[in-house]
């Protein structure tokens, strides 16, 4: 059974009431109304929707965030930011991290208002590295990059191309044969596997990701294939944005269908516990993954692409203590 580790009553600094027009911190009493509004902007609003839904319903939640909007009602920008502003003491859990470093997710239908919110010095801590998670391309991405360059530099990962987004629903998910060799088994990852995932994941290898995984593997669903020594050789993990990610298959065990198995099992589990859709992000050159998802019934969402942008303040360099170093990371200035 999944366990929810946070309280619904998160630490808000102030409350707002409907009708206020300036930037504001959305109070939890308005989350349900905001969720209804965000449904009208699917699929691009799904990451913010799931982050808010998890907290509201105390299920599949990363509870250490709050939400800033440009106005209420009918916001045109919703930004999800960590409640923890400053870096923690050594050894403490940095709850501002989802995956890599201080993490921000956003949804917008108004580029001008998004730029205003990002430029507001009270909204984000621009003295830290920031990972903008799953930014919609090209509209939101252009704004984020522009603002990042005002006080530091932005970096792109993998390539300059945005990831395609593919969606699965209970109706589109196709059943596949679960062919597992004798002595192998399927199951879920546990916190004891955090070190392995941190080492194998392309963007892992840092202490913050390790601590995030120790928590995430305890509260979020996952699916894995274990070999005869009970070591995970293929796995996929749910993320609170409503997506399946951090997938990996050991090179020695590829081309056996394990990647499809773990994706199918995780999607099936998520649908059985009530999710109405899940999505995945795939680099357009990763044809093997794209074909696997097509066979599972995933459908590419037209006009919705995502990218990950790392912001680094001007006073930091790659050699600074705690600085993030990602594969193929490059400045796009």
Task: Please determine, for residue 18, whether its predicted confidence score (pLDDT) is greater than 60.
Answer: no
pLDDT tens per residue across span 70-80: 999 999 999 99
Question: Both ends of the chain: CA-CA distance in Å?
Answer: 47
Of 107 and 139, more confident: 107
Residue matched to tokens 């400045």: 331
3-state secondary structure 234-268: EEEEEECCCEEEEEEECHHHCCCCHHHHHHHHHHH
Mean pLDDT on 206-232:
95
When mean pLDDT is compared over 2-6, 88-92, 137-141, the highest value belongs to: 137-141
pLDDT of res. 254: 95
Q: Please state, rounded to an integer, the average pLDDT across all residues of the chain.
A: 88
Q: What is the mean pLDDT of residues 127-147?
A: 93
Average pLDDT over residues 146-167: 81
SS3 category, 191 = helix
Give the pLDDT mean for 217-221.
97
What tens digit of pLDDT does each residue of 229-284 get?
999 999 999 999 999 999 999 999 999 999 999 999 999 999 999 999 999 999 88
Note the pTM of the prediction, 2 decimals.
0.89
What domains, with CATH codes, occur in the chain?
24-162+306-331 (3.40.630.30), 167-304 (3.40.630.30)
């Amino acid at each position: 059974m999944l366990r929810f580790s946070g309280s619904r009553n998160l630490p808000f600094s102030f409350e707002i009431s409907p009708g206020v027009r300036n930037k504001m911190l959305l109070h939890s009493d308005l989350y349900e109304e905001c969720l209804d509004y965000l449904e009208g902007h699917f699929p691009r609003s799904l990451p913010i929707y799931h982050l808010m839904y998890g907290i509201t319903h105390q299920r599949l939640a990363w509870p250490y965030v709050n939400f800033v909007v440009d106005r209420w009602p009918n916001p045109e920008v919703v930004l999800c930011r960590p409640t923890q502003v400053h870096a923690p003491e050594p050894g403490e859990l940095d709850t501002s991290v989802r995956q890599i470093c201080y993490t921000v997710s956003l949804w917008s239908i108004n580029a001008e208002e998004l730029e205003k919110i990002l430029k507001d010095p009270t909204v984000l801590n621009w003295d830290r590295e920031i990972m903008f998670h799953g930014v919609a391309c090209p509209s939101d991405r252009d704004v984020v990059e522009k603002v990042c360059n005002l006080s530091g530099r932005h970096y792109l990962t993998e390539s300059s191309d945005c990831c395609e987004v593919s969606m699965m629903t209970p109706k589109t998910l196709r059943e596949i044969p679960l062919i597992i060799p004798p002595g192998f088994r399927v199951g879920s990852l546990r916190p004891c596997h955090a070190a392995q995932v941190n080492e194998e994941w392309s963007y892992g290898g840092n202490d913050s990701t390790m601590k995030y995984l120790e928590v995430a593997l305890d509260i979020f669903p996952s699916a894995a294939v274990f070999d005869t020594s009970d070591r995970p050789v293929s796995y996929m993990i749910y993320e609170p944005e409503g997506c399946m990610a951090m997938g990996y298959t050991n090179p020695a065990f590829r081309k056996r269908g394990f990647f499809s198995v773990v994706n199918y099992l995780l999607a099936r589990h998520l649908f059985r516990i009530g999710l109405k859709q899940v999505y995945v992000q795939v680099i357009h050159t990763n044809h093997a993954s794209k074909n696997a998802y097509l066979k599972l019934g995933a459908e590419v969402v037209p006009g919705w692409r995502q990218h990950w942008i790392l912001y680094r303040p001007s006073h930091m360099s790659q050699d600074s203590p705690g600085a993030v170093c990602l594969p193929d990371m490059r400045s796009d200035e």
